[in-house]
Structure formats: C-alpha cells, structure tokens
C-alpha cells in the first residue's frame, strides 16, 4: 500500500514570495490533515478536511495561508506571501475516517513532509 506522498521535499524561498505544497493521501482515506512543525516543536494542525469539506481550520493563518482538497483526494497548501516565521516542515497526514469522539482516534499516516526555508 502506497503511503502519503508529498512534494516538493524541500523548498527555499525569499520572504514575500509565494509557495505551494502538494499532498496525495493514501487511497480511500477520507480525512486529510496539514500540519506545521517548527524545529523543536510538535506538529501543529493547520487544517483538517473530511472528503472535500473543511472540518477545522481554526489555526490556519487565513490572511496568508490557503488550502483546498479538490474532489476529496489530493490537496494543496499555499502560502502567499511567506514570512520568515513560516520556515518549518509542513506535514500532510491522512486517516481512513475520523475517530469516535471520546474513545479513540483513527490512525493518522504521515507523509515525509516538505521542509520550507524562508530567507
């Protein structure tokens, strides 16, 4: 079974430039997550999709970040314009279905991430 694919693996841009990341989740997984992981910290959820609808985007900086999941499969995350503090690894994860609230959570499978450096 193929895992979560992400591209590019690395990206270096200057501040105020734009950048886009792509994620292809595991086939059949309904839920897709984008995380931001700053060096020395745990992942921080940016946005969660259930099929092609947004479940949670409360921590997405909507003035500069946008994400979409067309047709409920692949997803793109865009930053426009980038700031120095956006330097981080951007992780995509997918799960078959959301977990039962209060009981357990379905396994999230992570991609290798895209390491973004903003100069």
Partner 1 sequence: TQLLEQSPQFLSIQEGENLTVYCNSSSVFSSLQWYRQEPGEGPVLLVTVVTGGEVKKLKRLTFQFGDARKDSSLHITAAQPGDTGLYLCAALTVDSNYQLIWGAGTKLIIKP
Query: Interface residues with partner 1 (CB under 8 A)?
Result: 4, 31, 40-45, 48, 55-56, 91, 93, 98-99, 101-105, 107-113
Minimum distance, C-beta of residue 43 to partner 1, in the bound complex (Å): 5
* Closer to partner 1 by Cβ: residue 2 or 101: 101
Candidates 74, 104, 93; CA nearest to 36 is 93
* Cα 66 to Cα 12: distance, rounded to the nearest angstrom: 19
In sequence order, the 6+-apart residues with CB closer than 8 A to the CB of 62 are none
| CB 47 within 8 Å of CB 94 | no
Cβ nearer to partner 1, comparing 19 with 47: 47
Q: Which is nearer to partner 1, 36 or 118 (CB)?
A: 36
The pairing of beta strand 10-13 with beta strand 114-118: parallel
Ramachandran region, residue 50 (left: φ > 0; alpha: ψ -120 to 50; beta: rest) = beta
Shortest reach from residue 16's CB to partner 1, in Å:
27
Minimum gap (Å) between residue 85 Cβ and partner 1: 17
The minimum distance between CB 14 and partner 1, in angstroms, equals 24
Is 27 or 58 the residue whose CB approaches partner 1 more closely?
Answer: 58
């Amino acid at each position: 079974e193929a895992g979560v694919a992400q591209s590019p693996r690395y990206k270096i841009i200057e501040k105020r430039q734009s950048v886009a990341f792509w994620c292809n989740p595991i086939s059949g997984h309904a839920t897709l997550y984008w995380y931001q992981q700053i060096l020395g910290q745990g992942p921080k959820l940016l946005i969660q999709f259930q099929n092609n609808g947004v479940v949670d985007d409360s921590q997405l900086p909507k003035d500069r970040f946008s994400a979409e999941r067309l047709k409920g499969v692949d997803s793109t995350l865009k930053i426009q314009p980038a700031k120095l503090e956006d330097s981080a690894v951007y992780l995509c994860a997918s799960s078959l279905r959301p977990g039962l609230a209060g009981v357990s959570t379905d396994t999230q499978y992570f991609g290798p991430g895209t390491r973004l450096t903003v100069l």
